[in-house]
């Protein structure tokens, strides 16, 4: 209570009372003392709400106290609630309070936590509706995505392979490494020379989802000989492990050498709808389950929160003297994913793993998608 309030009531109360929060009008208080304090409290601009705690003694006129609370509450907008502890002795008083919609509790901690919820609620209620940023995607790109999805849907495809997923995400502003399909080892070398070393070779086959599992991936190839041999090794490995898989050829990719691996994704929840997911890549997501989620569509602020929220967030700020990684780029990509699933709700899941964020910009290395009706 304010100094003015204390001065106004100090003489009306016994010297043993405490007038600082919480106000203690001591055990022998009658309804008169409650009235003095309550009337002053509702006038005090520093008091936002009042919780009246009462444990009856022989002389306490509990019904009168309850009536006093009801009367005062009718003269103010401030929330007033009570906590009457005393079983049968206070039951009639509680009836009076409840009949006038004054909340009454039997445990002060429950009373106070309820009050906290009331405060939280008012904060949320008064929060301004955040603005969902509109990501500008050229109309022709949207149309292309619509066509791709339509073809996939008509073909009854639910698990969208890397090729189509990459195309859709590229149309929504994602960067992927330079790549081209080689049919022969000679072609692979030719492409690698064009792209520039080092390169990565991956088998291209719609039947093989986990390419590393069948020896279908070779990394960090630094010259023509390595590329030539890798092509032969990959095709041999796939033939050994999955003899019936259809091999389109071997894809030659530019090798991304620096940056941090993160995961960007979308999943679909029956209650919340599309949820965006972000986490650090590799062991962080598998072992530590260090990921964050938000419901789509989301605001720029929420996208930032997703990055800051994970335990490993500091890694992106750059450790041991390295410059920070481009968080702005991650935010942009999260918002683009949010826009994509908002535009095309048929996309149920997206998994961009890994997305390599650099000190400036970023590149997606692998992407998968699942589509299906809501």
Partner 1 sequence: MLPVFLVSNKPFTGKNLIALGLALNLKERGYKVSYMKLIGKFPYRKDNQIIDEEAYFIHSMLESQEPAEYCSPFVWTYQVQYKLFEGEDLKMEEKIFEIINNQKDKDILFIISGDTFFEGYSLGIDSLSIIKKLKTKTLVIQTWEGETSIDDILGIKDLASDNFLGAVLNKVPSEQYFYLKETVVPFLINKGVKVFGVFKKDKFLESVTVRRLLEIVNGGIVCGEDKLDEFVENYLVGAMDPGQALSYFLRVHNKAVITGVHRTDIQILAMETSTKCLILTGGLHADENIVNIAKSKGIPIIVTSLDTFSVVDRIQNIMGKAILKEKDKALKFKEILAKEFDIEGFLKELNL
Interacting stretch for partner 1, rule CB under 8 A, among 137-145, 228-236, 297-305, 332-340? 228-236
Identify which of residues 247 and 307 has a Cβ nearer to partner 1 in the complex: 247
- For 261-277, b/e burial (b = at least 16 CB within 10 A) is bbbbbbbbeeeeebbbb
How many residues interact with partner 1 (rule CB under 8 A)?
Answer: 16
In the window 238-297, what residues touch partner 1 (CB under 8 A)? 238-241, 243, 247
Nearest approach in angstroms of CB 285 to partner 1 is 13
Please state, in angstroms and rounded to a whole number, the distance separating the CA atoms of residues 272 and 259. 33
Closer Cβ to partner 1, 113 or 184, answer by number: 184
Q: In 3-state terms, the chain is what percent helix, strand and coil (to 5)?
A: 45, 20, 35
Tally of CB atoms within 10 A around 84: 23
The CA-to-CA distance between both ends of the chain, in Å, stands at 56
What are the start-end ranges of the H helices in 26-131? 31-43, 62-73, 88-99, 108-126
269: three-class secondary structure by DSSP: strand
Choose one: 80-88, 101-109, 231-239, 338-346; the region binding partner 1 (CB under 8 A).
231-239
> Residue 341, Cβ neighbours under 10 Å: how many?
22
Structure tokens at 132: 């969902």
Residue nearer to partner 1 on the CB measure, 283 or 374: 283
Q: How far is the CB of 188 from partner 1 (least distance, A)?
A: 11
Window contacting partner 1 (CB under 8 A); options: 44-52, 131-139, 206-214, 317-325: 206-214
Which C-beta is closer to partner 1: that of 226 or that of 326? 226
Contacting partner 1 (CB under 8 A), which of 235, 338, 339, 353? 235
CB 261 → partner 1: shortest distance, Å? 17
Interface pick for partner 1 out of 48, 120, 213, 322 (rule CB under 8 A): 213
Closer to partner 1 by CB, 92 or 184: give it: 184
Distance CA 141, CA 271 (A): 30
48 vs 186, beta carbon nearer partner 1: 186
SS3 category, 13: coil
Question: Would you call 357 helix, strand, or coil by DSSP?
Answer: strand
**Contacts to partner 1 from residues 320-339, by CB under 8 A:** none
Instruction: Quote the CA–CA distance of 53 and 93 in Å, as a whole number.
Output: 13
Q: How far apart are CA 216 and CA 194, in angstroms?
A: 22
Region from 19-27, 124-132, 180-188, 190-198 binding partner 1, contact rule CB under 8 A? 180-188
Q: Which residues of the chain form contacts with partner 1 (CB under 8 A)? A: 183-185, 212-214, 232-233, 235-236, 238-241, 243, 247
């Amino acid at each position: 209570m304010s100094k003015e309030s204390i001065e106004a009531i100090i003489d009306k109360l016994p010297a043993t009372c405490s007038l600082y929060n919480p106000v203690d009008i001591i055990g022998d208080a009658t309804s008169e003392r409650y009235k003095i304090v309550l009337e002053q409290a509702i006038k005090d601009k520093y008091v936002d709400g009042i919780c009246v705690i009462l444990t009856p003694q022989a002389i306490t006129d509990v019904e009168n106290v309850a009536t006093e609370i009801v009367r005062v509450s009718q003269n103010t907008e401030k929330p007033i609630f009570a906590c009457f502890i005393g079983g049968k002795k206070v039951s009639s008083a509680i009836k009076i309070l409840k009949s006038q919609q004054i909340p009454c509790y039997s445990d002060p901690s429950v009373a106070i936590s309820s009050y906290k919820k009331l405060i939280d609620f008012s904060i949320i209620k008064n929060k301004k509706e955040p603005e969902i940023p509109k990501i500008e995607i050229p109309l022709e790109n949207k149309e292309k995505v619509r066509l791709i999805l339509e073809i996939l849907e008509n073909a009854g495809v639910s698990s969208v392979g890397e090729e189509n997923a990459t195309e859709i995400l590229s149309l929504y502003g994602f960067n992927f490494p330079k790549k081209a399909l080689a049919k022969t080892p000679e072609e692979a070398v030719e492409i690698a020379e064009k792209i520039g070393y080092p390169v990565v070779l991956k088998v291209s086959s719609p039947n093989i989802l986990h390419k590393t599992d069948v020896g279908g991936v070779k990394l960090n190839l630094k010259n023509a000989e390595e590329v030539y041999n890798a092509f032969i090794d990959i095709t041999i490995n796939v033939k050994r492990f999955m003899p019936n898989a259809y091999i389109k050829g071997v894809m030659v990719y530019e090798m991304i050498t620096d940056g941090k691996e993160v995961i960007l994704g979308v999943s679909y929840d029956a209650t919340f709808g599309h949820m965006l997911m972000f986490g650090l890549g590799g062991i962080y997501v598998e072992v530590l389950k260090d990921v964050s989620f938000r419901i789509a569509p989301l605001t720029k602020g929420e996208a930032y929160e997703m990055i800051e929220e994970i335990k490993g967030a500091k890694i992106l700020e750059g450790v041991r003297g390295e410059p920070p990684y481009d968080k702005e780029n991650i935010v942009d990509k999260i918002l683009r994913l949010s826009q994509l699933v908002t535009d095309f709700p048929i996309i149920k899941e997206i998994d961009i793993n890994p997305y390599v964020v650099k000190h400036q910009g970023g590149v997606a290395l692998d992407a998968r998608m699942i589509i299906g009706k809501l």
